[in-house]
């Protein structure tokens, strides 16, 4: 029973990040390939939902925030924490402090506007401590790659992630693939679309996928991105919005 509960909590929310919980991105659910400059700092927050997710008509809303720091021009550290509201046909609504952790993101190429190549790969590793299931640790890894046109008018990205929920008795694996495209619209406003999924390798009924439009806007040190996922498998809607301000 304890192992089953651990798995439900581990796979219910993606931090994706995102679950994107670090670094500026043009997407809602996908991690970007930008990192903070050395000694740079940023505060970031996000809200996302999974509505009508099978089994049990589950509804999740997560709210999280993080502090980011640029260790070097290519290495970034993040310290996220996250809160969770949950409801389903079988449970009463609840709100709780869900998890905290540490994340590292390494961009393999320069971020300098003059030297940065069009193709930018990035690796992300995260360890999250689940507060609600005391013996559960979540380990996440992502490989993210983006490319852009010389003018920056078109940006495309692929995010391949995996989450491992580890308890003393079991390990559970979830794949988190996603891809998106973003087009410069007017000024600093960008519009596009993305597709993202959670593929539970142990139980297909807990897998889900969504696709939909996204937008991104930046103004000086402030940025915002969002996506409205329309369910294509085992979920009705999956919206997400995040924003940050650099110091």
- Residue 246 placed within a domain: no
pLDDT for position 244: 97
- Residue 236 placed within a domain: yes
pLDDT, tens digit, for every residue of 82-118?
999 999 888 889 999 999 999 999 999 999 888 899 9
pLDDT for position 24: 85
138 CA to centre of own chain? 14
pLDDT for position 23: 65
User: Is 31 strand, coil or helix?
Assistant: coil
Using alpha carbons, select from 103, 171, 102, 104 the residue that is nearest to residue 136: 171
Q: Give the distance between the most distant pair of CA atoms in the chain.
A: 56
d(CA 222, CA 157): 22
Predicted TM-score (pTM) above 0.75 = yes
Domain containing 62 equals 2-241
d(CA 16, CA 142): 9
Q: Tell me the H-state helices in the chain.
A: 2-12
- Residue 228 placed within a domain: yes
- Residue 231 placed within a domain: yes
pLDDT for position 185: 97
- Residue 217 placed within a domain: yes
d(CA 246, CA 145): 23
Q: Tell me the H-state helices in 77-230.
A: none
Q: Tell me the H-state helices in 30-73.
A: none
Report the CATH number at residue 149: 2.40.160.40
The burial class, CB within 10 Å (0-12 / 13-18 / 19+), for 202 is middle
pLDDT for position 245: 97
Question: At 163, which helix (H) or strand (E)?
Answer: strand 154-166
- Residue 17 placed within a domain: yes
- Residue 247 placed within a domain: no
Count structural domains, the chain. 1
d(CA 121, CA 123): 7
pLDDT for position 147: 98
d(CA 138, CA 13): 11
Which segments in the chain show pLDDT lower than 70?
1-23, 204-205
- Residue 173 placed within a domain: yes
């Amino acid at each position: 029973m304890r192992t089953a509960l651990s798995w439900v909590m581990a796979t219910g929310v993606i931090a994706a990040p995102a679950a994107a919980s670090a670094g500026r991105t043009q997407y809602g659910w996908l991690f970007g390939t930008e990192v903070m400059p050395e000694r740079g700092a940023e505060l970031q927050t996000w809200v996302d939902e999974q509505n009508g997710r099978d089994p049990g008509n589950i509804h999740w809303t997560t709210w999280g925030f993080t502090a980011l720091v640029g260790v070097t021009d290519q290495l970034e550290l993040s310290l996220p924490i996250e809160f969770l509201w949950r409801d389903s046909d079988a449970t009463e609504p609840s709100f709780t402090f869900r998890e905290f952790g540490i994340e590292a993101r390494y961009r393999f190429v320069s971020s300098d506007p003059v030297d940065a190549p069009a193709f930018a790969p990035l690796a992300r590793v995260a360890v999250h401590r689940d507060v609600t299931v005391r013996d559960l640790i979540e380990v996440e890894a992502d490989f993210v790659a983006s490319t852009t046109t010389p003018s920056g008018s078109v940006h495309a990205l692929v995010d391949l992630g995996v989450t491992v929920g580890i308890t003393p008795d079991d390990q559970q694996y979830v794949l988190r693939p996603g891809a998106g495209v973003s087009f410069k619209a007017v000024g600093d406003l960008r519009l596009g679309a993305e597709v993202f999924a959670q593929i539970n390798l142990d139980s297909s009924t807990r897998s889900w996928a969504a696709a939909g439009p996204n937008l991104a806007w930046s103004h000086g040190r402030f940025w915002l991105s969002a996506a409205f996922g329309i369910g294509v498998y085992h979920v009705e809607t999956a919206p997400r919005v995040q924003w940050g301000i650099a110091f």
